[in-house]
Amino acid sequence: MKVLHFFKTYWPDSFGGVERTIHAIAQSTARHGIETEVLSLSRTPEEATQRLDGHLARKASLDFELASTGFSRDVFRKFKALSGKADLIHYHFPWPLMDVVHFQSGHRKPTVVTYHSDIVKQRLILPFYRPLMMRFLGDVDAIVATSPNYLESSPVLRAFRAKSKVIPIGIDEDAYPAPTEADNDWCRSTVAEPFVLFVGVLRYYKGLDILIQAADQVRCKIVIAGSGPIERQLKLQAKTLRRNNVIFLGEIAEPRKMALLRNCLGFVFPSNQRSEAYGLSLVEAAMCGKPMISCEIGTGTSYVNEADKTGLIVPPSDPDRLAEAINRFVDSPVETANWGRAARDRYVRLFTADRMGKSYAELYYQLDSRQR
Domain CATH number, residue 252 = 3.40.50.2000
Residue 231 has pLDDT above 70, yes or no: yes
Asked if 196 and 113 sit in the same domain, the reply is: no
- Provide the pLDDT for residue 14: 84
Kindly state the average pLDDT of the residues 223-232.
96
Kindly state the average pLDDT of the residues 340-344.
98
CA distances from 22 to 113, 233, 264, 352 (A): 12, 31, 29, 14
Residue 122 has pLDDT above 80, yes or no: no
Kindly state the average pLDDT of the residues 211-220.
98
pTM, rounded to two decimals: 0.92
- Name the pLDDT band for 202 (thresholds 50, 70, 90): very high
Asked if 281 and 365 sit in the same domain, the reply is: no
Q: What is the pLDDT of residues 258-284, one digit of tens each?
A: 999 999 999 999 999 999 999 999 999
Residue 158 has pLDDT above 80, yes or no: yes
Kindly state the average pLDDT of the residues 105-131.
89
CB 210 within 8 A of CB 270: yes
Q: What is the mean pLDDT of the chain?
A: 95
Asked if 295 and 166 sit in the same domain, the reply is: no
- Name the pLDDT band for 47 (thresholds 50, 70, 90): low
- Provide the pLDDT for residue 115: 97
Distance of alpha carbon 134 from alpha carbon 193, whole angstroms? 52
Asked if 36 and 145 sit in the same domain, the reply is: yes
Instruction: Identify the residue with better confidence: 54 or 46.
Output: 54
Asked if 218 and 259 sit in the same domain, the reply is: yes
Kindly state the average pLDDT of the residues 273-301.
96
Asked if 79 and 202 sit in the same domain, the reply is: no
- Provide the pLDDT for residue 186: 97
Asked if 196 and 163 sit in the same domain, the reply is: no
Asked if 8 and 146 sit in the same domain, the reply is: yes
Residue 48 has pLDDT above 70, yes or no: no
- Provide the pLDDT for residue 119: 87
Instruction: Identify the residue with better confidence: 372 or 272.
Output: 272
Asked if 161 and 222 sit in the same domain, the reply is: no
Asked if 168 and 195 sit in the same domain, the reply is: no
Asked if 154 and 184 sit in the same domain, the reply is: no
Lowest mean pLDDT among 39-48, 118-127, 189-198, 204-213: 118-127
Q: What is the pLDDT of residues 65-117, one digit of tens each?
A: 887 788 999 999 999 999 999 999 999 999 999 999 999 999 999 999 999 99
Residue 146 has pLDDT above 80, yes or no: yes
Q: Which domain holds residue 267?
A: 173-350
CB 149 within 8 A of CB 313: no
What's the structural domain count of the chain?
2
Asked if 356 and 237 sit in the same domain, the reply is: no
Distance of alpha carbon 238 from alpha carbon 232, whole angstroms? 10
- Provide the pLDDT for residue 176: 94
Distance of alpha carbon 227 from alpha carbon 203, whole angstroms? 9
Which residues, 6+ apart, have CB-to-CB distance to 263 below 8 Å? 184, 187, 188, 191
- Provide the pLDDT for residue 98: 97
- Name the pLDDT band for 51 (thresholds 50, 70, 90): confident
Residue 123 has pLDDT above 80, yes or no: no
